[in-house]
Structure 1
């Protein structure tokens, strides 16, 4: 359980052991290490709230821009197939509507297969090496996609792209848990999902500009989309290598006092982070956790929207009667609005430490939005509906993932939970590619409404289940009932309160 940081303390407990602490690496407790006497001493220290806020601002100013630009490039390379579609790619490579839909879906076959292995291997291979390697490979794959000449070539490129990008999102989420406390995470996870909105907005704007290069060097405009965006992503690999340290507590931009504060924060989060030692037992425990499976089912429903909307929004807008270039730039305000709404709701969620009700609240807007698009309304009303959909598109997956992040401990149990939840959720990408085939996309939009309705039921079920777990812990602690639980460590500990 996190130590409250809001009370006004003395500067800190001046333990002689801490005052004379050696800077040797062996004496610095690493994130996720087991609690020893020294760590317990650190955990009891209460940091000056003003100093901790300043530290958080410094962490955000360095880590957040790097993480955001990395995920932006990742999502840009994944979703630009939607921009290429309305720019003539299927016709140029001889792909039928069914073959092109398969290209969209097949990406998720390798994406979901590699998510869990990459998330579990993150510590073993180190964040810097793993994330940089994956970024370089998927970036080069994006560049080479510009030169495919057949549906088979496109399918092969999408399979490689999925295998590499599958490690990024769970990896970045685990990295955030190494830096931030439970009540600080929703806002930071929101930055990742805001990047999906920015990728859509930036991708639409970039596609609008790049398509004007059609014919330069004898290449079609859609080929330039892949080349330019792929080269941009290659450069991001260098940002990861030099910008993300393997051990955030000893980051290059922190001074000695800030590194000490990071060690205090790490000790305070020791129960949440847990041991760094790989344990099949922890993974087995998580595989039996209903929270993870319900969360995965919710994520599947929410990702139907995320992948269908983010990939096919240009096509959805085009089906309303707009031309190719208009369909590209009209996506920009929709994506931006969705991202801003997510930032606001995630901030409130962190402040109140409430998760599930905000997911359900955002979904209401999505249901109304899709109904407006489906009904025989004017094009202006349908376009307004896309703004309402965007609220659910980004808040749903982002807040649901945070809801799982903060309720699972220790590290490898959480790594398994994130990996498996994302694996379940991202199979929705396979479905999204098949339901959005022909305009006006009644099947895709109707399926999305149904997914939101099912998500609402699952969210309510998970909320009541978690509340029952909290009540049971409270009754055991009060001595009202016997403790018959088989697992009592990590998030199952009595003093670990689940966020509702």
Structure 2
């Protein structure tokens, strides 16, 4: 294949659907592959480490729940469920503002500051003595962590092309799976510190995980440049290639200047609201499963410490399945059908847990659930990422989708209340059935929009659309 043709794309358009640069600015595929490997080698470990830390600090409340925290702070079952849910009140309220402000405040400053504050909050959670203190800590934690996931996700769109993103977004959700595995292992080890220095084990979980998180803040500051095209670890030739890639993605990234019009266009876009509804249903699984898996396993008859390490292989299967489907998704540029495929496993898994089967079969069901738990939200977020342009339209879409969808965390805290959690698991099955219909609707809507663009481009239909820029341009093809 001639090296001047990038990935076999023809002379008129690149893979983002934008007008291609001049021929002398084409990138040799081998050089681009080498560049991507270098970008991944530096950015991916940092992003994964930060999100791993964030998710550990968020979900460790599920580990300490079975270790006696509610009894020690005299919290009833309903109060502790409220403490889990209240986190999402500030979390969802801050996601859109943080997402839109990322460029203005700069990724380095914003993400570092948020990391410092949520880490300190985790440490202080270990000193909580009553329900009011736990409520306060969870509210602050939510306000800080609300900016991290949209920020990291938006940062990835500043570095990678549309057809490169599912794989990178998968790393974030793999971190959620890893955090479950690591969280269970850490909790198992740290809870054995019960009695050390006269303190109960669950306090050590907060203190040690909080200290570990705050140590990551300098890594964010020095590791994530505000301008990825001029990253400190790139040589001059690689920076030149990054500038060419930036030109190729001009339609996808758009102007650097803030625009209220772009925010408004995003809010009026029907595919944003469909995507948000899908994400809400998928997040009911994500938050219910990741927070309550130790409790679900305990309800099967296993001991609390045993439940901690039994979560590890479940999370591993969830992470590996997502890496596999994300790779396929980018390769084929197919999104919706793969989400629906992963959800089939989830439906089967929850049914096995609910039905009067043996504990071994129920435990096997958790492995099937994990496939839907991580693939669904991750691939759907990628589906949103690649179909919104330019930057501020996409920033608004990501923020709104995540804000609305993460209210599912409030639902998860209320439906998983008492063992054996039949209500929570049954609710999750219902969410999966509903989301399959929504995925089909979104897929048909996007296919219709692509068909409409083709008819306008060929002259079969008059172009009466109000918005014709960014992802509405005729040569911007939506990923299905």
TM-score between both structures, scaled by the size of structure 1: 0.93
2:176 aligned with 1:176, yes or no?
no
2:193 aligned with 1:192, yes or no?
no
Retained in 1: the 8 A contact 2:98–2:147?
yes
Provide the residue aligned with 2:195 in structure 1: 215
Provide the residue aligned with 2:371 in structure 1: 391
Q: 1:440 aligns with which of 420, 424, 431?
A: 420
Provide the residue aligned with 1:345 in structure 2: 325
Displacement after TM superposition at 1:332 (Å): 0.2
Q: 2:465 aligns with which of 477, 485, 490?
A: 485
Q: 2:233 aligns with which of 238, 249, 253?
A: 253
Provide the residue aligned with 1:26 in structure 2: none
Retained in 2: the 8 A contact 1:296–1:421?
yes
Displacement after TM superposition at 1:499 (Å): 0.1
Q: 2:261 aligns with which of 261, 281, 288?
A: 281
Q: 1:418 aligns with which of 398, 406, 417?
A: 398
Provide the residue aligned with 1:19 in structure 2: none
Provide the residue aligned with 1:6 in structure 2: 7
2:296 aligned with 1:316, yes or no?
yes
Poorly superposed stretches of 4+, deviation over 2 Å? 39-44
User: Aligned in 2, Cα 1:491/1:328: closer, same or farther, shift over 3 Å?
Assistant: same
Q: Distance in 2 between matches of 1:396 and 1:43?
A: 39
Displacement after TM superposition at 1:157 (Å): 0.1
Q: Distance in 2 between matches of 1:7 and 1:289?
A: 32
Displacement after TM superposition at 1:351 (Å): 0.1
Provide the residue aligned with 1:64 in structure 2: 44
Provide the residue aligned with 1:236 in structure 2: 216
| Unpaired runs of at least 5, structure 2 | 11-17
Q: Distance in 2 between matches of 1:41 and 1:389?
A: 45
Q: Distance in 1 between matches of 2:473 and 2:99?
A: 24
Q: 1:127 aligns with which of 103, 107, 125?
A: 107
Retained in 2: the 8 A contact 1:307–1:429?
yes
Equivalent positions of 1:331-410 (< 5 A) are 331-410=311-390
Displacement after TM superposition at 1:134 (Å): 0.2
Displacement after TM superposition at 1:7 (Å): 3.7
User: Aligned in 2, Cα 1:448/1:43: closer, same or farther, shift over 3 Å?
Assistant: farther
User: Aligned in 2, Cα 1:494/1:82: closer, same or farther, shift over 3 Å?
Assistant: same
Retained in 2: the 8 A contact 1:7–1:49?
no
Retained in 2: the 8 A contact 1:42–1:268?
no
The CA RMSD over aligned residues, in Å, is: 1.4
SS at match of 2:476: coil
Retained in 2: the 8 A contact 1:178–1:248?
yes
Q: 2:282 aligns with which of 286, 290, 302?
A: 302
Superposed CA offset, 1:135-186 (max 9, x none): 0000000000000010110000000000000000000011001100000000
Superposed CA offset, 1:388-419 (max 9, x none): 00000000000000000000000000000000
Q: 1:262 aligns with which of 235, 242, 267?
A: 242
SS at match of 1:497: coil
Superposed CA offset, 1:9-51 (max 9, x none): 9xxxxxxxxxxxxxxxxxxxxxxxxx9xxx9856862101111
Retained in 2: the 8 A contact 1:127–1:171?
yes
Displacement after TM superposition at 1:119 (Å): 0.4
Retained in 2: the 8 A contact 1:42–1:267?
no
Name the count of aligned residue pairs.
470
Q: Distance in 2 between matches of 1:373 and 1:434?
A: 19
Retained in 1: the 8 A contact 2:21–2:248?
no
User: Aligned in 2, Cα 1:156/1:91: closer, same or farther, shift over 3 Å?
Assistant: same
